Structure 1
Amino acid sequence: MTTRPRDRSAPADPDGRLLRRASWRLGAQAGLIVALIVTVLSALAVLVVVQGQHRGAASLLAQAVARADDVADPPASVWLVAQTSGGQVATPGLPPGLPDEAALANTSATGQDSTVDYRAGGVEYRVHTVRRGQQTIQAALDLSSDHAERVRLASALLLSGGLGLVLAAVAGVWLGRRAVRPMAQALALQRRFVADAGHELRTPLTLLSTRVQLLHRHLRRDPGHADLRGEAAAVAADARHLAAILDDLLLAAEPGSPLPSSTVDLAELAERVGAASTNDPVPVQVIRPSAPVAVRGSAVALRRAVTALLDNASSHARAGVTISVSSAARHASLEVADDGPGFDADLLPGVFERFATARDGQQPRGYGIGLALVSEIAARHGGTVSASNQPGGGARLRLTLPLAASQEFSKEQPPSSLG
């Protein structure tokens, strides 16, 4: 048994791409969260250290000034200057640029104590000046050691924070991959089921279409069955429409698959959906503008969406359903309104979720899939769908889509051949 070589030109597994994207996204989010936490904690740590240094400097300067009987023996990193009317005396080795003459003059004149940061010779000092009787004393503390301690602290926090950020990102990717893998497997299983179901349904649909076409040809040769020819043609059209829906469902189930796009007249589509519901017990009225309302997208998918909206309204209407199509600015709107009991207040916020059904007995129970499909189709086409209750009673469902830039309908799919 030979092994077939792998085709490297084949596209990568879509489930694997989704898994990798989700894992990297979770890792990035974990890294950002850790970075934010580390930043906040580092800022708090630096703030605590700075405040501690300020309190320590203030206490040391206050003690140095209080004990300044002799300027020759101050604490370490502190220099003292005593000024009287007879002149100044200072600690030996006073750095260049000291004392702060402006602070000395101001305190000597006003008698008010002052504490300022003073830079001299490229070094920052904390200068504390007080007046005691006829003597003005100034103490200067070198802040170089405090600055060096802050640099060491910031470097340590930066190193530990960067290492923690990398470890958090790696752990986030690993945990994200483990967390997302079961979901990816479930999506792959669902996609395989849809593909298998589509393959199995395509064969009987093809046979059905072929047999109906043969029957239609036979009826055309027999003038005695004129009434059946129309029914056979309608069954053949329904088979083609069902095959198109099947293809659209297969495309929707495949992530990243391109959306078939053509210019569709939303007003014409609404008319055809309304005309196809002539056998329903509830009459349907279509209100549309005289001009086409062009949107871009899949004609099959949009027809599915409008049909689902109409089915929902017809199943709850009492006397009739109205489909209104309009356009304004850059959007087209299709509104389906009925005169039924409306949506249950508890159900309304989640009416477009799967399996959302009424529980008060006023509306028939169902699986709640139709409106969820409408929401997905609207999102694929860059539009929205909303639901509300009318003031006079009944429900209103509105589908909003972007208008097409051009109203040139494709020759392959004109608005008059939607089904």
Structure 2
Amino acid sequence: MSRGATAEAVLLRRAAMRLGLQAALLVSAIVVLLCAAAVFVVVNSQHTAATTLLNAAVTRADDTTDPPSGVWLVLRGPAGSATTPGLPAGLPDSEALTRAAAGGAPEVVDRRVGAAAYLIETARQHDGTVVQGVLDLSANHAERDRLITTMLACGIAGLLLAALAGAWLGHRALRPLSAALALQRRFVADAGHELRTPLTLLSTRAQLLRRRLRGGADPDAALADATGIVADSARLGEILEDLLLAADPVAARSRQPVDLAEVAAAVLDAAGPAAAEHDVRLSGPEPADPLRVPGSPVALRRALTALVDNAVRHARHEVGVTLAVRDGHALIDVTDDGPGIDPALAPRLFERFVSGRARATDGQRRYGLGLALVSEIAAAHGGGVTVLDRPGPGAALRITLPTAEGSRGAARIR
């Protein structure tokens, strides 16, 4: 993966994590509010129920023998005092009983005695008897604690699930953006690589034409060079159009019979000036019976141009292009006598940004896009590209394409 793609992937992962964290925080805030509301309702309901139960016990109390479960009664009157057996230590509230006996208003208070909590109501009846009811709140508090613990556990689980779901949904939401960015980056890289070769050839032709004009060249030779420049300029437009079609995921590429012999001849003719600059001899198929394959002539020319340009830049003396037919497939072999391909990188040779050649003789850095583009073009035509075993120095690469119906054979090799 390229450095740009890696950085982009890191940014997308961070964005997905931020979305997940934001979703988790939002869910946690909602859960906290819901839990607080639920606890408030439960606690208020428990307090209301406890107050009602205790008030009914105090109001109807005529003795201390049969109070409701969890309630103890204390009665003080002219006839004496009585207490429900088992009243917890530290009770009753004598001060409240004294205030009620003196004519004070009824009191309802929460009181903690030791580790236990109680609700205490004290009131004076019409006959002057003071009644104090004591309700044990331990069961209510235990239920409340269980509720809070359950809600806390559910909230933590919901928070984690929300974070994971948010990150997953964020990743899915950002995937189209990632694909668009990758397509944009890929188009820029492809355009930069694909236009470099024809621009180099165009510059070489222009320089040769300038030299010939300065040297008083024959007008016919100068006209031929100028015609080549015009042809190379036109091919630049064709390459741009083909790249735009390749960058559009819904665009349909045209399929038409393409004569590989003509394509090879045109590519070798365009590569002639660059080969002459490197003192490299080009050899290719002679005009013969056409070898046709269905596809895009511009794309196939791009693929063969990439292989020939790659071979010329690394060859010592010679680059050859041969055509053949085998088992219904057209075979295009491009060979050179350069330093060859590193066997360790051969399995990844057709991946993007993997340079499989030895250091170029011109000292320029190679970005590893050319062979990847050749592989993609061949795959789009139902074929592929492979590295051939070659005895001796140099490298040999083969494009395999299914032939069109009626293909009559391969061109002869000179």
Query: TM-score, normalized by length of structure 2?
Result: 0.46
Larger Rg belongs to: 2
